[in-house]
Amino acid sequence: MGAPMRIVCVAGARPNYMKIKPVMDALERRGAEVVLVHTGQHYDESMNDVFFRDLGIRPPDRFLGVGSGSHAEQTGRVMAAFEPLLDEVAPDAVVVVGDINSTLACALVTAKAGPLLAHVEAGLRSRDWSMPEEVNRVATDRVSDYLLASSPDAADNLRAEGYREDQIHLVGNVMIDTLFSNLERARQSDVLERYGLSKGEYGLVTLHRPANVDDPEVLTALLKALGEVAGRCPLLLPVHPRAAGRLAELGVPGGIRLVPPAGYLDFIALQDSARVVLTDSGGVQEETTALGVPCVTLRDNTERPITVEQGTNVLAGRDPERIVSTVNRVLDNPPAPRRPALWDGRASDRIAEVLLGGGSADSRLRPTDLLVPSPAGEGEAETVLS
């Protein structure tokens, strides 16, 4: 019997933690050696340590501590720190999740170093090239061996872009694995009592995307819309560090209550008991869909269209009048709860089976290997090494 597979799992920011934890657990249950690397892209206590505690994630085996900076600075620092680590650890495979700068940085280093690369949440597309996350998603998929898709539309995107079927695996949504495994604990939270809230009698707001919070004009328009909504349904807004300064400068309308960032369990409890959630977060679109809570997305597009087609999410854009009319319609006639197939709490098990049964870097086709039909369509397709 050979040595267990050594797999590096990378996390860098708060949205990653909920995605990497179930994958680590599923791999370790099957005997893999998992090395957890935290790049340190998010590094303040409210966005980092509390999530590790809430989710029961063990301390990282390696902490790169790259901190903030421009996209180029952050990506470059992660690459420079991750390259010698990868050389030292010499894993069989690397797992990256999501679409942050750390995801792309570690993907590029891995692709050049040679281990197999797996991308969790592959194939998500907003079609909005002005989103840094969209660039990160597309580039990460291109160098990945395993494209682990959370929904059928994501798998369809990958096929349309020309990826081989042996690369694409529809596994379900790891965020929902974490949600379901922590939901009862979250429901025991006292966060509603702390804020004097009653179930079903408030709206929850999150704002963090640069397109929404970095431009004072856009943010002012969003706050105007939220102020009108708050006249009908009081709103709670846990303040993302990115938005804190802007909100302090502009001030917020009456009926909107600013509170500190919430830990994972408290935030799930707040979503679970909300009458409506207004957000620009992809993860929140997914969590509200799984919880059956009405969600209004304050963006012009979404890379998670399945939450609109199969869930409780409605895309409202960023026009104040449209936002207010959309929220009023949702409050008057909430969408019926629907949950996409494979959002069942078992995605991480499927991922582990794919990774541990998929062979080695020496035996697998790699991302640049092409499958082309054999001459005159006879027999099997042949492999052409590019």
State the average pLDDT for the chain.
93
pLDDT digits (tens, 9 = 90+) for 216-242: 999 999 999 999 999 999 999 999 877
> CB burial class (10 A; 0-12, 13-18, 19+) of residue 119?
buried
Catalytic-residue membership of 38: no
Quote the pLDDT of residue 241: 77
**224 neighbors 253 (Cβ within 8 angstroms):** yes
**221 neighbors 318 (Cβ within 8 angstroms):** yes
CATH superfamily of 183-332: Glycogen Phosphorylase B; (3.40.50.2000)
Going from N- to C-terminal start, the domains of the chain cover 6-173+343-385, 183-332
Mean pLDDT of 109-124: 98
Within this chain, domains 6-173+343-385 and 183-332 share the same CATH topology:
yes
> 303 - beta bridge partners?
none
Active-site annotation holder among 42, 119, 169, 208? 208
Side-chain half-sphere exposure of 224, counting CA atoms within 13 A: 11
Identify the CATH class of 6-173+343-385.
alpha beta
pLDDT digits (tens, 9 = 90+) for 337-381: 999 999 999 999 999 999 999 999 999 999 988 765 555 555 555
Start-to-end C-alpha separation, the chain: 34
> Does residue 245 or residue 156 have the better pLDDT?
156
The answer to pTM > 0.75 is: yes
Q: State the pLDDT confidence band at 76, using cuts at 50, 70 and 90.
A: very high
